[in-house]
């Protein structure tokens, strides 16, 4: 995937969905262990290429499987730790991962609600959501970007 240069010039923060962008999405299931985690083709090259182009890079991900008791927060954090190590070894970086374990769609932290982006802007005061780009693969990712005033690109 290539980000158009005009978008890079407008945006200094990158938000990425996890399932479907960083890793292969398992329709009807959840990635519950590192053994089930597979990077999407081209993602490691993508993150290595664009890491120096953005001031901040965040992953924002709904993880309803935790809320449903199919996996623990510790299991999720193990997946994220190993994912981050692999991204780092590939020359990329992720500054922070925000996740929602909510099962209720009205929870403010669950995409498409803006809670995770607002948390990032609170923890990183130089983040401006109007100068941010969200890359996702689902309609909820597009709506998240709209709800936050971000630019959006569909992962392809």
**Catalytic residue list:** 17, 19
- Residue 109: closest CA among 72, 73, 144: 144
CA distances from 94 to 15, 41, 50, 58, 98 (A): 10, 18, 11, 6, 11
- Residue 137: closest CA among 5, 35, 19: 19
């Amino acid at each position: 995937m290539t980000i158009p240069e005009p978008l890079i010039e407008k945006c200094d923060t990158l938000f990425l969905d996890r399932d479907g962008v960083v890793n292969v999405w398992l329709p009807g299931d959840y990635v519950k262990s590192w053994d089930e985690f597979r990077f999407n083709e081209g993602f490691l090259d993508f993150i290595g290429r664009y890491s120096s182009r953005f001031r901040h890079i965040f992953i924002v991900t709904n993880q309803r499987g935790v809320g449903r008791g199919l996996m623990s927060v510790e299991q999720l954090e193990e997946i994220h730790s190993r994912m981050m190590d692999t991204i780092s070894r590939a020359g990329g970086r992720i500054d922070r991962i925000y996740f929602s374990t909510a099962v209720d769609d009205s929870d403010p932290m669950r995409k498409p609600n803006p809670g995770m982006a607002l948390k990032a802007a609170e923890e990183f005061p130089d983040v401006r959501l109007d100068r941010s780009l969200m890359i996702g693969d689902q309609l909820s990712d597009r709506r998240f970007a709209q709800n936050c005033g971000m630019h959006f690109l569909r992962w392809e």
